[in-house]
């Protein structure tokens, strides 16, 4: 059985945030948080609620944390100078409309710097991301079991309850991440046919992108924007020229549309296998200052590895206060241990 298809049947234990964080819990450093979808009334988006985001920022203000911008973090990494104690950095990925409408006003209210990585082809109305198409298909199908033959392999997915919908989405997404990029459109179209779902050309309401006027408006209020590729395809699954094009075109489009984009890249899906020395070299050749990943960990300027600025770790913003406080509180934990 093909490797990526095999993974359909393997629980994604390795991606569980808790297990990963546990090993890094006591390392000193600054957490960079990333936000994806926001929960908005009347829509079924999963993610963090605006109330929760407000609680998190309020907690940081009340407990003496310093907000640092991503460019401060990168400057500090590149110059090997320490960041303030108890500092926290925020980023947001992709470019959905509710991220702008819902999260940005909260960051502005708290005067908290935010770097927003946008999928440029999505904002250009050329596409909607392949991983959100998977969510759309799974969320809307009435079938409880999907069985299909892809690339000479039988694929079977059971969708009984909400929980199995969520895990099916994650498992399919992670399966697709292992495929050669050229196979993805065919896989999605077969999945849609099997699920009895028509995938529209442009994004449906729940998955709408920001437009450039909105982005310019947010930029004028201090939000920094940076490239997250043209198409959200995984760079390591592309040939060199295509990977280069994802990086250089998304940056040049941002420079054309905005007055102050930041030259830091966000690798699509950002796991260890999704980028490598080739992508880091392209970024360096193009004069990028650094790049962020979705690998869990803290930024620690006293213990830098080579190319650290191009492999910056991040944590998904936890959806509950207890986890959030723990992610932020390495100093307290270090004190308790000493």
| Contact present, 282 and 244 (Cβ < 8 Å) | yes
For 109-151, the DSSP string reads HTT---EEEE-HHHHTTS---HHHHHHHHHHH---SEEEEEET
Q: Provide the mask over 149-188, with x wherever binding to Zn ion is found by CB under 5 A and - wherever it is not.
A: ----------------------------------------
For 98-118, the DSSP string reads HIIIIIHHHHHHTT---EEEE
98 binds Zn ion (CB under 5 A): no
Cβ distance to Zn ion smaller for residue 169 or 195: 169
Smallest separation, CB 120 to Zn ion (Å): 12
- Contact region for Zn ion (CB under 5 A) — 27-35, 94-102, 233-241, 327-335? 94-102
In whole angstroms, give the CA distance from residue 124 to residue 116. 16
246 binds Zn ion (CB under 5 A): no
- Contact region for Zn ion (CB under 5 A) — 8-16, 57-65, 86-94, 317-325? 86-94
Smallest separation, CB 130 to Zn ion (Å): 11
93 binds Zn ion (CB under 5 A): yes
Helix (H) or strand (E) holding 251: helix 240-257
DSSP β-ladder status, 145-150 and 153-158: antiparallel
Helix (H) or strand (E) holding 94: strand 87-94
Smallest separation, CB 258 to Zn ion (Å): 19
Cβ distance to Zn ion smaller for residue 93 or 274: 93
Smallest separation, CB 235 to Zn ion (Å): 12
Contacts of 93 (CB under 8 A, 6+ apart): 34, 35, 36, 116, 117, 228, 266
Cβ distance to Zn ion smaller for residue 131 or 330: 131
SS3 state of residue 156: strand
Helix (H) or strand (E) holding 21: helix 17-24
CA-wise closest residue to 132 among 208, 234, 183, 197? 208
- Contact region for Zn ion (CB under 5 A) — 5-13, 87-95, 107-115, 158-166? 87-95
Smallest separation, CB 292 to Zn ion (Å): 10
Question: How many of the chain's residues bind Zn ion (CB under 5 A)?
Answer: 2
Cβ distance to Zn ion smaller for residue 231 or 301: 231
| Contact present, 12 and 171 (Cβ < 8 Å) | yes
- Contact region for Zn ion (CB under 5 A) — 65-73, 85-93, 148-156, 275-283? 85-93
In whole angstroms, give the CA distance from residue 279 to residue 337. 39
- What's the residue count for the chain? 338
94 binds Zn ion (CB under 5 A): yes
Cβ distance to Zn ion smaller for residue 231 or 308: 231
Cβ distance to Zn ion smaller for residue 71 or 94: 94
Cβ distance to Zn ion smaller for residue 176 or 195: 176
Smallest separation, CB 288 to Zn ion (Å): 17
Interaction site with Zn ion (CB under 5 A): 93-94
């Amino acid at each position: 059985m093909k490797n990526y298809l095999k993974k359909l049947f393997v629980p994604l234990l390795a991606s569980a945030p808790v297990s990963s964080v546990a090993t890094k819990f006591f390392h000193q450093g600054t957490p960079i948080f990333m936000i994806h979808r926001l929960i908005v009334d009347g829509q079924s988006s999963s993610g963090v609620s605006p109330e929760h985001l407000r609680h998190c920022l309020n907690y940081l203000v009340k407990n003496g944390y310093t907000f640092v911008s991503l460019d401060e973090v990168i400057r500090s990494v590149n110059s090997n100078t320490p960041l303030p104690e108890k500092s926290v950095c925020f980023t947001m990925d992709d470019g959905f409309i509710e991220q702008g409408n819902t999260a940005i006003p909260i960051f502005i209210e708290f005067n908290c710097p935010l770097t927003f990585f946008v999928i440029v082809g999505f904002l250009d109305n050329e596409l909607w991301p392949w991983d959100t198409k998977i969510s759309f298909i799974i969320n809307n199908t009435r079938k409880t079991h999907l069985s299909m033959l892809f690339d000479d392999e039988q694929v079977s997915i059971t969708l009984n309850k909400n929980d199995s919908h969520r895990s099916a989405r994650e498992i399919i997404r992670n399966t697709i991440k292992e495929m050669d990029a050229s196979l993805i459109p065919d896989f999605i179209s077969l999945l849609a046919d099997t699920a009895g779902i028509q995938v529209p050309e442009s994004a449906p309401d729940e998955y709408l992108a920001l437009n450039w006027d909105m982005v310019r408006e947010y930029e004028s209020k201090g939000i920094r924007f940076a490239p997250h590729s043209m198409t959200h395809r995984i760079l390591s699954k592309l040939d060199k020229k295509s990977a280069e094009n994802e990086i250089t075109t998304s940056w040049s489009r941002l420079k054309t549309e905005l007055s102050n984009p930041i030259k830091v890249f966000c690798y699509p899906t950002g796991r260890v296998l999704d980028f490598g020395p080739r992508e880091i070299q392209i970024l360096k050749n193009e004069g990028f200052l650094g790049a962020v990943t979705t690998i869990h960990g803290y930024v620690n300027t006293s213990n830098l590895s080579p190319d650290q600025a191009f492999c910056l770790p991040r944590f998904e913003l936890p959806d509950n206060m207890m986890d959030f406080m723990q992610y932020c509180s390495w100093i307290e934990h270090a004190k308790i241990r000493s």
